[in-house]
Structure 1
């Protein structure tokens, strides 16, 4: 718990002091040392500050400062003692008598000592630097080795033990800097500030030392406790590089440990360095000191002037280094500017910032942000020169990469290779994946028959079979395809090919207002929109990621195919069916392009992040890594989609089931059910499209899953629910003719026209219905996936609303214009 949570008269043992370095040092100097007993004496009349007793004297702290001090209270210690009494691994707690005052103090000290030996670590580094390799090696967690910017989009938590210490490890997204330029940068920065890890492990790709050290300089500005892991050291040595990493560590004021995370070499030394940094070392050791990188006298003067104001804000100093905030202000960091605006003297702070920035411009000709970057790279260059850094030429680690790139990104064969890869991926997914899908469908069907044969008739039985089992089946039936798709994507990411695919497709995607990385999810959308939405996490630009998700529903997924087959088979001659199908797919692509350009110029107006993307060397991925990644994505799909789809399936079932009458046929039941009544109620809304209430009911049923549209319409028009099972033309029992005849009859009644004209109007209505199905509300699973990937219902609801509105407008326009020619 936090010291701020202790009540008057309570006491505890200090476990650790968090916060940035300057604040932590000041609090420790006041006597708040790990392992010391602290007692709350009294609160001020306004409950802030609070007076404490520690080390025989009294001192006051504000609540905001006390909130940065972690303690173990007597109640917490007793609760841990109770749990440990039945835990053989910690019997020492069980032998203490909690009713004795001396034993209570011993108990507090014992528990605090154990808690003090838990170190919270945050892994920070550039994409492709090997953070996740360390995470996997140290914690054994099921996380993957990524080779493509933006793969790790969430913070993954793992656990490790070493020499009596417990490590809570958080793998943060890869980022090149800590600016406010991308969501990943802001996320990493927020985690460091809000979660205040005990030690930052800055993972550095030694083969790209100069570029990677830029992030290190920004972490130094934040005044955090840090250890640097010089990873991929073997590749650097194979190339013949040389660097005095001990000297480099002295110059940066941090310990630098050579590591090879793929084999585990250097991990023990890294853990020891983390422990040493966490426990604290005298300032005489140059590897454990806080340095100030000199940015030039004008910038440094501006920093000092801004700091004078910031240091007056005590609450601010508990969370931030004032030097870091001053630097970010001079960089015109929007996120920091928004925070500073909340301070009482914000206007004076901005005046000092603007004056300093103007002086920098006059002196150097550059803006302050550029001058700060130049100063940091100047410091890095000088430090590397002093550390005798040299790049060798014994082995060109990129030789094979350069050879492969000459083929894979060639302007003549690059595209054929890329599309051949896609052809293999989708062929295996939808041909091989069909077998386990069929097995799952058969298993669900057999389970339904088992339930049907052993339960009495009634709503509960029907809900279990048609609602719950139907919902579960809709979730798991696509799992094989999702696993296969992600296995291929994992291979492309881990091998380094995914970034080449983005490189190849960027020019085309850029014309849509997107990046090349959007192409793979859009292509995947033709199979299933759900994994396609989940695949957008490979796009590090939040703007491009969201736009891609918003237009993905226009990619005709395989679930729409039964509807297309049913309508084209019923209303179009054989020679025109393929043409109509191709036209639908083409319209979907054209709408995606149009809406992407519209969104990029309106909703997401402004420049996107530049297309600066690392092309990592080719590496053959391990089967273990690909298997882990594939399984993790499968679990995420089941976890994210399962509950929502199940609930939606039950709701759709209930609307079609109640009020129920066993004496009615399936068609009559649908007509008099709630969903039938809703369809009739909203019939006027869809009159501009020429839809009657039966078509409306089909659209409503499709909210749960698009396959339901075909089976629902089959029931309403021909008392035949087999349409939903058709992935190819199948006119068994003349069902196409029956559906055609019934719809023509209904259209004649609806519009009060002669049967001869009703024939052509019905065909136009059928085509408009196909357009509506193509464009409107994606299935619940897709909406749930968008919510899961964006972290908000806002974009999920927006997608549902705008696609349905667009479908209404397009289908109505086509129908009204088409009628003029009939």
Structure 2
């Protein structure tokens, strides 16, 4: 039987793993889906594809087409036979002082007080960023979704001003499959940190230790941080830390990053191994007691002898170089600079191993590592009973990923998000903020008048600064509420389920389910959404997702929607705003279909992703993220928006000879806006004030509102009615929804894909915005709305 045919609730043993894509096959093996592994079919996605399986105590999703390449044997009913746990009680782990057991020392140590660099490495979603925040006092974003960290982050360890620690993106092995994994590998190999902190999820120790063995092959000072030990203990499990240290030959420190338990001991250990250059006690994980294992053992050591001089010259540990050459790693092969004879000898050695062992090179290495890990876990780990978190996740998934309930649940959750943001909570908080801004504005205006300040200066302060910045601040509650809710969804683990549920839908548009998460993040802000595309394993999916993400309406457009819908649609304002979000999604879908048949032909990459357990959102994380977004919004209000408001006030107050104008149509701003107005006239808003607002919106979308406030002197419906009718206001909103994002988002595209792609995104958004807005206007005219 093949894996795609396995019934729900059945167990089977993997016999072989096949794929036309060598990198994909290796990634599947690195995730633990190796021959001999028992898997359980958990569920199919609501549309039948992809599937969710359980192996090595965690859930993995993959498409049925890839599952069809995996052969199974020994199909049987699912069972829960507990693994035989090691005998004897676990020993206490001393706070410090195991260094006497470190059998190997590297080069001369580092003097106390000298600068040190540390790398924080681990699987995706294992708690690296949480630990980084605890160690440095930073406030980096944390989420319960694989790939939250997509770039390296540096910080100073608290109390150690000369120690820098770098939080790297999650990586399952040192054979990177996605672009953010390349960042981690490149840092570890090229930057050569003084020590590595390998953080391991103790609730899923078997899968996590796979990366640990590869890091040990690098022969660098390292410490293993055994995270989430509080969850293991709460569910009846334990780890014999001292025995685990002896088997691995590196220090092991049990911690709980979320509760800040064990972190001080961890810092103590890592500083010790870094300063004394203490290297791992073992690198060889071959079990040479059987014919198959012996073949691989001989192969690796033969390759080590063959390339030893090249490896030393390239600064690559011989053991690591040998295993990577066996895997066919092109980067390592290129770095070693082997000649043709050496390459022939290398291939001969590997082929001999495959013939003797009866398995291919990828499977042999993965099986070697997991066999060693299995022996370690049987010796050191008391396996906990099924955790509360997993039981809870299974129960919740019956609804949130159920065949008939997944899509209604998603629509209900997103509807609730928008109702809370634009209705119940957000609108009430916005009203309070508006009253506060109006009170401060009136108080400042009265104070300036009482002080006899020059009328032009009064106009600058009240009509320029307060009108522009004050109008912006009134929308701060909406943005904070939206970010709070999106953060809670991500922190809970629901985002990963959305990707699972939506994969088959997005595949029809040429994307994978993983593309849905960056686009969903785009409803908050396009910049992190564009950066999040690094988690996508192919350039095809990544570039296409970057091109489509700006069509998702970011929170910076909320002030524009809020002002115009409240002015022209009154009670229907919430419905009007929701319709804009739906238009953005619909336009993005149409553009995706066009891309699929033109610039981005071909199938999206395979969908392989770990499904984390649901967790209650961290109150601290959620509040701190909301504070960060509020701080960012306020900073922009008092920098970009402040500057834009002053410039706009100046341009609309004076003519080209710097005379104060009595009619704004004679101002410098009117002349500049008039250059663009003819292009917008077919859309129904060819007024120079509307075109000026759109231009300033390219700096920051909130500038559209501050521009109107400065130009019109007020944000009232009566003032706006002189500029728009209800229908042209809606067309204007459609154009605002779809035209190019802010300069920060365009800069993010440039940083990710280069200047040509940034220019392409800008041009695409301009064309699509004009065409769709014109189509809406024509439709309205046909229906008699114009």
TM-score (norm 2): 0.69
Q: Secondary structure at 1:398's aligned position in 2?
A: helix
1:805 alignment counterpart:
767
Equivalent residue runs for 1:425-574 within 5 Å: 425-431=417-423, 432-433=425-426, 434-439=430-435, 441-442=437-438, 445-446=441-442, 449=445, 453=449, 457=454, 472-473=469-470, 476-516=473-513, 519=516, 522=519, 531=525, 533-534=527-528, 541-542=535-536, 547-555=544-552, 557-561=557-561
Equivalent pairs, count: 661
Say yes or no: does 1:129 pair with 2:126.
Answer: yes
1:246 alignment counterpart:
242
Residues 560-606 of structure 1 deviation map (CA, whole Å, 9 limit, x = unaligned): 5379769988xxxx9x9999998866543322112234556766666
Distance 1:297 1:599, change over 3 A: farther
Q: Secondary structure at 1:115's aligned position in 2?
A: coil
Q: What is the deviation of 1:650?
A: 5.1
1:620 alignment counterpart:
616
Say yes or no: does 1:420 pair with 2:412.
Answer: yes
Q: What is the deviation of 1:441?
A: 4.2
Q: Secondary structure at 2:589's aligned position in 1?
A: helix
2:310 alignment counterpart:
309
Where structure 1 has 5 or more consecutive residues not aligned to the other structure, the ranges are 1-20, 36-112, 744-762
1:192 alignment counterpart:
188
Q: What is the deviation of 1:267?
A: 3.8
Distance 1:620 1:801, change over 3 A: same
Q: What is the deviation of 1:227?
A: 1.1
Q: What is the deviation of 1:205?
A: 1.5
Contact 1:154–1:172, Cα closer than 8 Å, also in 2:
yes
Q: What is the deviation of 1:126?
A: 1.7
Q: What is the deviation of 1:814?
A: 8.5
Return the structure number with greater relative CO, CA threshold 8 A, min gap 6. 2
Partners of 1:485 and 1:349 lie apart in 2 by 59
Which of residues 340, 362, 377 is equivalent to 1:384?
377
Q: Secondary structure at 1:410's aligned position in 2?
A: coil
Contact 1:436–1:480, Cα closer than 8 Å, also in 2:
no
Q: What is the deviation of 1:127?
A: 2.8
Point out the more displaced range, 485-494 or 510-519: 510-519
Distance 1:279 1:587, change over 3 A: closer
Which of residues 165, 175, 191 is equivalent to 1:169?
165
TM-score (norm 1): 0.66
Contact 1:704–1:780, Cα closer than 8 Å, also in 2:
yes
1:4 alignment counterpart:
none
Residues 48-86 of structure 1 deviation map (CA, whole Å, 9 limit, x = unaligned): xxxxxxxxxxxxxxxxxxxxxxxxxxxxxxxxxxxxxxx
2:695 alignment counterpart:
700
Q: Secondary structure at 2:403's aligned position in 1?
A: coil
1:70 alignment counterpart:
none
2:113 alignment counterpart:
115
Distance 1:377 1:721, change over 3 A: same
Residues 526-569 of structure 1 deviation map (CA, whole Å, 9 limit, x = unaligned): xxx56354456666624667654533443454345379769988
Point out the more displaced range, 507-516 or 798-807: 507-516
1:595 alignment counterpart:
591
Partners of 1:642 and 1:711 lie apart in 2 by 12
2:366 alignment counterpart:
373
Q: Secondary structure at 2:253's aligned position in 1?
A: strand
Distance 1:465 1:260, change over 3 A: same
1:183 alignment counterpart:
179
Where structure 2 has 5 or more consecutive residues not aligned to the other structure, the ranges are 1-101, 288-295
Partners of 1:380 and 1:146 lie apart in 2 by 28
Partners of 2:702 and 2:278 lie apart in 1 by 69
Partners of 1:180 and 1:706 lie apart in 2 by 37
Partners of 2:221 and 2:317 lie apart in 1 by 12
Q: What is the deviation of 1:648?
A: 5.0
Q: Secondary structure at 2:525's aligned position in 1?
A: helix
Distance 1:175 1:347, change over 3 A: same
Distance 1:591 1:389, change over 3 A: same
Say yes or no: does 1:230 pair with 2:222.
Answer: no
Contact 1:534–1:789, Cα closer than 8 Å, also in 2:
no
Q: Secondary structure at 2:165's aligned position in 1?
A: strand
Partners of 1:114 and 1:282 lie apart in 2 by 15
Partners of 1:478 and 1:817 lie apart in 2 by 31
Residues 600-632 of structure 1 deviation map (CA, whole Å, 9 limit, x = unaligned): 676666665643333323333442333223323
Which structure's CA Rg is the greater one?
1
